[in-house]
């Protein structure tokens, strides 16, 4: 064993082939490996986030070009694939359900309408597992009730009570979500006047919805941001009915 003089302090240097020296090598290698992993984790997470964002943005762009039943099916299926791959994200489940509801409203065959509705309801449930209490899913739940009403209008009284309860829950969760008020207005707007509906009855709700839309700022480019054009159209029609 050699003795090394370092600033007046004697230090023992282990021979390179000693057992202690051999044990040190794996130790230092583990330190280097762990340090590398710590620094690489944010890079990997960023790459995964970029991949998710690109997939969502690409599918959202495709959804804007969707006009046929098969288009809506394809978009819904793409969003569901993203949701299954990105288990911590609620928005792909949201859009998968949304476009299955759009397919439901677009189809005229009762069995297929029910199949789309069942898919949408399951996807809403999956999304709520990821983010319980997300008000956007309550918007979809109300839309699903409206879809049921089209298939079976005889359930109107019961289903509208359910819809009103969901609307109130949605408002409690997020009073600033304009789509909750839009869907409330949809229910009144399309209800026959003899049952308390109609354009004039929907007018104050549409005005409130438009105020919410004007104040609404989406958190990012992926979260739901639809409905303002629809609200404006319905509001114009309701204003005409008032004249």
65-242: CATH topology: 1.25.40
pLDDT higher than threshold 80 for residue 11: no
- Phi and psi of 10, rounded to 5°? -85, 130
What is the full DSSP assignment across 4-19?
A: EEETTEEEEEPPTTSH
Q: How far is CA 129 from the centre of its chain?
A: 12
pLDDT higher than threshold 60 for residue 243: yes
34 falls in which pLDDT band (50, 70, 90)?
A: low
Q: Can you give the residue ranges of every domain in the chain?
A: 65-242
Instruction: Read off the DSSP letter of residue 7.
Output: T
Report pTM.
Answer: 0.81
Give pLDDT tens digits for 198-238.
999 999 999 999 999 999 999 999 999 999 999 999 999 99
Give pLDDT tens digits for 163-201.
999 999 999 999 999 999 999 999 999 999 998 999 999
């Amino acid at each position: 064993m050699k003795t090394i003089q370092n600033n007046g302090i004697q230090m023992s240097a282990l021979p390179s082939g000693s057992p202690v020296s051999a044990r040190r090598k794996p130790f230092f290698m583990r330190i280097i490996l762990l340090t590398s992993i710590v620094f690489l984790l944010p890079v990997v997470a960023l790459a995964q986030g970029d991949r998710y964002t690109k997939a969502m943005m690409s599918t959202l762009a495709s959804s804007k070009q969707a006009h046929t039943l098969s288009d809506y099916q394809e978009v819904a299926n793409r969003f569901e694939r993203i949701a299954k791959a990105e288990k911590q994200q609620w928005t792909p489940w949201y859009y998968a359900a949304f476009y299955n509801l759009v397919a439901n409203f677009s189809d005229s065959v009762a069995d297929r309408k029910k199949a789309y509705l069942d898919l949408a309801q399951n996807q809403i449930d999956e999304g709520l597992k990821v983010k319980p209490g997300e008000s956007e899913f309550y918007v979809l739940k109300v839309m699903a009730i409206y879809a049921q009403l089209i298939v079976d209008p005889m359930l109107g009284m019961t289903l509208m009570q359910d819809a009103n309860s969901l609307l109130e829950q949605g408002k409690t969760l997020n009073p600033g979500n304009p789509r909750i008020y839009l869907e409330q207005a949809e229910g009144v707007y399309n209800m026959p006047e003899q049952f308390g509906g109609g354009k004039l009855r929907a007018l104050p709700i549409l005005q409130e919805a438009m105020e919410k839309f004007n104040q609404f700022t989406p958190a990012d480019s992926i979260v739901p941001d639809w409905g303002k054009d629809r609200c404006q159209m319905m509001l114009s029609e309701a204003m005409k009915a008032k004249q």
